[in-house]
Amino acid sequence: MKLFQNLSLSSMIVISLLMQTASAAGPGTLSLKQKQLLKATSPLFKAIYQNHSGQAMIKLNGVSPDNGRTWKPVKPTPDFDKDLPYGYRRSHYGLWRDPVNGNILSLFNCMDTPDKDPTAHEPRWQWHWYYLRYRVSNDGGRSYLYDKPIVQKGKQYSPEHPVDGVHISKNCFFLGDLGCDPIRTREGTILVPMQMPPLANDGKSLFNPGGGWYWLQTRILIGRWTENNDIEWESSEPIEGDGKRTVRGLYEPTLAQMPDGNLICIMRGSNGGKSDPSNKLPSRKWISISKDGGHKWSKPEPWTYSDGELFFSPSSMSELITHSNGRTYWVGNISEKNCHANHPRWPLVIGEVDPKTFGIIRDNLVVIDTKQPDEEDVNLSHWHSIEDRQTGNIVITTSRASKGYKSRTPVMYTIGVEGARPQK
């Protein structure tokens, strides 16, 4: 791929598509099959399949018997939130179904702050009070067995000190954007990628070596099912950024287990802010690798293409998707030029992760969407993806947001996967 080194991203994609047209597409090759602008958010947003097989789907307050074509409301029991005091927040992250035992895990970013406005958007006090709760269903999400805070196993841990490095009221831990989905490893553990603002050496203030508005590090929660459908939790060592290379740390992690058993974690970094006002730091996504099931992680480095070439990416979420064909795909923003912190969040691309180098394969990189000539700006982020069992396509639901997120147009993209086999 050195041939493409000096080409723009858009030119590279056109050449790639021409190459694909000239020869038969290989297994796993991606293509944009459809882009649909919608009047309302797709009901597939945050939906998952309810069972190991079949077309039944479920989300927090709805069920579909027919692969998402029709929906009816559902109210899971019991209602754990009906008597919450003012100021208590339960922000539903999403549902995840264990692919082996079928249990459905529901995760929530939570704050128990009776003196605070529960509707405030990204308030400063979140850095001291956010924590994670979980619920488990063994009947397809119709009812839940319990509602509990995540607390690491061991006598030294409690809801006030739930995991290593976290002391609620001093700092916190929580899930980032929608790419922070759990995965089940081949060893049978559940990995939940989370983020936290670490404490400084004084044990009171928040550590911030990058000089940005905040500083976050990544940790991986490691869960194991018990006989009564509960989960015992551990925590990985932190994945820490270098304040001289990313001003807000490393966060919004997304995970995948590769064919050789290694785990990869892709994270958001950032340039800009008071310490980098001219945005001179390269804007990157970052990768860390675990060879021991998620306990220890390699020193994070900028993520690259499979040939080792670096690319630019804004400070934005991304997502690793493990397809039923055994391949791992990545959805995120790749830019032609160095970014300015969160911008530009276009184009939105999807590509395959090389199972040997763990980089993105440029030959199979597809632009899903980008800024149109008549648009001042567009934000392509905050999406949910699912593999369609009937077709093997990857379906992505989100909104095309205008400059400053002042308006949003719901949209759904269908990504074709060559050779994908429909599931039963």
- What digits encode the pLDDT tens for the residues 127-156? 999 999 999 999 999 999 999 999 999 999
Arithmetic mean of pLDDT over the chain: 93
| pLDDT at residue 112 is higher than 60 | yes
Give all strands of the β-sheet with 408-417 in edge-to-edge order: 30-37, 408-417, 394-401, 379-387
What local confidence, expressed as pLDDT, does residue 19 receive?
A: 40
Average pLDDT of the residues in 82-92 = 96
**Which positions ≥6 away from 142 have C-beta within 8 Å?**
74, 76, 77
15-24, 56-65, 161-170, 201-210: the lowest-pLDDT one: 15-24
What local confidence, expressed as pLDDT, does residue 422 receive?
A: 82
What pTM was computed for the model? Answer: 0.94
What local confidence, expressed as pLDDT, does residue 1 receive?
A: 37
d(CA 107, CA 304): 31
What local confidence, expressed as pLDDT, does residue 15 receive?
A: 39
- What digits encode the pLDDT tens for the residues 382-408? 999 999 999 999 999 999 999 999 999
- What digits encode the pLDDT tens for the residues 295-323? 999 999 999 999 999 999 999 999 999 99
- What digits encode the pLDDT tens for the residues 183-200? 999 999 999 999 999 999
Q: Are 265 and 288 in contact (CB under 8 A)?
A: yes
Closest CA to 187 of 238, 262, 239: 262
What local confidence, expressed as pLDDT, does residue 6 receive?
A: 42
Torsion, Cα of 17, 19, 25, 29 (10° steps): -50
Average pLDDT of the residues in 172-189 = 96
What local confidence, expressed as pLDDT, does residue 17 receive?
A: 40
- What digits encode the pLDDT tens for the residues 239-253? 999 999 999 999 999
What local confidence, expressed as pLDDT, does residue 14 receive?
A: 41
Instruction: Tell me the CA end-to-end span of the chain in Å, nearest whole number.
Output: 38
**How far apart, in Å, are the Cα atoms of 395 and each of 20, 45, 384?**
21, 10, 8
Percent of the chain with pLDDT over 70: 94
| pLDDT at residue 7 is higher than 50 | no
| pLDDT at residue 59 is higher than 90 | yes
Closest CA to 267 of 250, 255, 242, 243: 250
| pLDDT at residue 25 is higher than 90 | no
| pLDDT at residue 237 is higher than 50 | yes
Three-state SS sequence of the chain? CHHHCCCCHHHHHHHHHHHHHHCCCCCCCEEEEEEEECCCCCCCCCCEECCCCCCCEEECCEEECCCCCCCEECCCECCCCCCCCCCEEEEEEEEEECCCCCCEEEEEEEEECCCCCCCCCCCCCHHHHCEEEEEEECCCCCECCCEEECCECCCCCECCECCCCCCECCECCECCCCCCCCEECCCCCEEEEEEECCECCCCCCECCCCCCCCCEEEEEEEEEECCCCCEEEEECCCECCCCCCCCCECEEEEEEECCCCCEEEEEECCCCCCCCCCCCCCCCEEEEEECCCCCCCCCCEECEECCCCECECCCCCCEEEECCCCCEEEEEECECCCCECCECCCCEEEEEECCCCCCECHHHCEEEECCCCCCCCCEEEEEEEEECCCCCCEEEEEEEECHHHCCEEEEEEEEEECCCCCCC
What local confidence, expressed as pLDDT, does residue 9 receive?
A: 52
DSSP bridge pairs for 348: 333, 369
